[in-house]
Every structure is written in structure tokens, then in C-alpha cells.
Amino acid sequence: MSKFWSPKVRELTPYVPGEQPRERLIKLNTNENPYPPAPGVEAVLRDFPADHLRRYPDPESRALREALAREFGVEVEQVFVGNGSDEVLALAFQAFFCHDRPLEMPAITYSFYPVYCRLYDVERRALPLGGDWRVDLDAFTPGSAGAIFANPNAPTGHGHGREAIAGLLERVTESVVLVDEAYVDFGGESAIPLVERFPNLLVTGTFSKSRSLAGLRLGYAVGSRELIEGLERVKDSFNSYPIDSLASAIGIAALEDREHFDACREAVITTRERTRTRLESLGFRVLPSQSNFLLVSHPEHDAAQLFVGLRERGILVRHFNTEALSDWLRISIGTEDEMDSLIEILEGLCR
């Protein structure tokens, strides 16, 4: 505690992200992509003229926003970009959720949302999840400061289809509904086609997962012009937006390679389903997932002990230290070889 901290900062508990270990472990703890980014990304890194870095980037990040607009079939004015979707989410909290009413979110969802609530003085109302820990869309109410959830949800993995999201948007019309699609490319259904119909829908996405660029920090939001303008009002001058020139060029190269994108996400989906079957045959309960991770628990083995056992044998998964999730492990989907090693070790630990 420091006397220099403002009263609010004294109360904050910093968000603790998944460990980035120094030693060589099989890393299945932060939902990164096990495959490299598109080959075009490598070409940009090789050929990017260093002299370009002398200048500030395009203040509107036009080229990257145009590439995203083409990808999603929307106008460029409907696209916002930021340094990772975490930053886009932070700006959305400031632009849309600071009211004298609570913001609604599922009781179990991306753990950064409650952190942002504390940071931006937003009251939070946690909504109970439905069966199989699915997000209960009927629980959101029209009178709140807004709604936010990940779809597919994290760390549970289940995703709702577009029509279900449309049903929520028919009811909640007076505040922003933010659908975080960080994991949508692994079998979910994007709500982006709904932005024309619902001016209060903001969809966020990231290059960190399905585009294999977590180290770059590139995220985006798609919505109506009025929501994008709201985000522009709260952004920094040359820090969060525009995106730096090199990241822009890399993002565009990643978007251009549809074949690589499809091959990587299909590989992750195939490995996920294979891993699910193998975990079930070891007695694990595995929640249905449309993401690049599985949330699993074992009726006879303590999750914290399994976490330690795996780590000692060179595999890092995620164990959350919260009451609701203490019986569960979240396992990111790696390569086939990495998952073979995981299963082999679990066979030993669960004997």
C-alpha cells in the first residue's frame, strides 16, 4: 500500500493473468493458438521498412479497419480497433456502462469484466447460469446499464446461436449489449450480421486466438456508427488508436490468408473433439465447448492436485482460485502431440 495511491487504487486487486512460464512447459493455460500466424505475417516482419516507424501511424487506422469491414461485410465507420480486445472492452466500459444502474453479466464469465467494473465504478449484477453452465439470455433485464457476456462464454465454452442473441436484443433495446466473440471462430456463430438490425449491439473480437497473434495486441469492435463514435470519444490520442503501423500491416496480412485461418481453426476443433472423447473415457466431466479450450472436472480427483501433478510433469493448464470454479480445470487445445502428452499424464494421475 502506498500513500501516493488514490483511494480507488488502494481498493483494487490487480487482475492476475495466466502464467507465462520461463521454463519449457506444454502451455495449455491461456488459450493461445498452437499454430503459427499466416505465412504473410512472416513476410511483413521481414519486409516492413524500419523508416516507416519514424512517422506516427495513420490516425484513423483506415487500412486495417477497411480490411476488417470487408471481412465482416460492414462499413468502415462501423469498425473500431484497439491494442487487444481487452483495451476495446475497457473503452466500451467507459463509453457505455457508466450509469447509476447495474451492468448485467453472467455470474461466471471472463474475469476481466468485474475488474473493469471496479476500475470504472460500474455496479455489477451477476446473473445465475442455466443448465450445463450455459449463459441464460432470458435472465438479462431491459432496465439495466447494459449487458456483457462472452459468446462462446469463458471459461465455460458454450456459445449461443445468432437467433438466440437476436431474441435478447428484441427485449433489451435501451442500453448496449456487448457480445465478446474472442472465441467465436472455433465453432460459434457470430452476431456481427445483427449489427444492422440492432443499433445497441457491440461485438468485440481479437486477433489473439484464431489468428495466432496474442503477442501483437490487436482487437476490434463492430457495431452501429453511433456506438463506434462513442468509443472514439474515449480513446487516447496516439496510444490505443490508431493501431501502430507494424501491427496494422500484420493484421491485414493475417486477414488476407483465409486458407491458413480455416486450416488452423479446423485443426483446433478436430483436436478439441478428440480430446473431449479421451477425457470422458478417463472419467472427466467435460462441458460442451465451441471454443479453443475445455472446462473439465473429475468426480474422484481434486482439480488443484491435478493442476500440480500436471505442472510437475511439464504441462501447464488453468486452475481458477474462485469458489465456483475450484473443482474445474480449463485446458487450452494445443497440437495433437501436446494433447497426447496431456492424456498420457492424466492416465497416470487418474489411475
Residues that bind ligand PMP (CB under 6 A): 84-86, 110, 150, 154, 180, 182, 206, 208, 214, 219
Choose between 85 and 190: whose C-beta lies nearer to ligand PMP.
85
φ/ψ (deg, to 5) at 294:
-125, 140
Choose between 168 and 184: whose C-beta lies nearer to ligand PMP.
184
User: Rounded CA gap, 248 and 63, in Å?
Assistant: 8
Choose between 181 and 346: whose C-beta lies nearer to ligand PMP.
181
User: Rounded CA gap, 243 and 62, in Å?
Assistant: 10
CB of 265 to ligand PMP, least distance (A): 16
φ/ψ (deg, to 5) at 3:
-70, -15
User: Rounded CA gap, 327 and 196, in Å?
Assistant: 41
Choose between 85 and 94: whose C-beta lies nearer to ligand PMP.
85
The H or E element that residue 277 is part of is helix 258-281
CB of 315 to ligand PMP, least distance (A): 19
Choose between 92 and 306: whose C-beta lies nearer to ligand PMP.
92
Give the pairing type, strands 285-286 and 293-297: antiparallel
Which cell numbers hold the place of 156? 465455460
Q: How many CA atoms lie within 13 A of 291 on its CB side?
A: 29
Closest CA to 283 of 300, 304, 307, 295: 300
CB of 86 to ligand PMP, least distance (A): 3
CB of 281 to ligand PMP, least distance (A): 28
CB of 219 to ligand PMP, least distance (A): 4
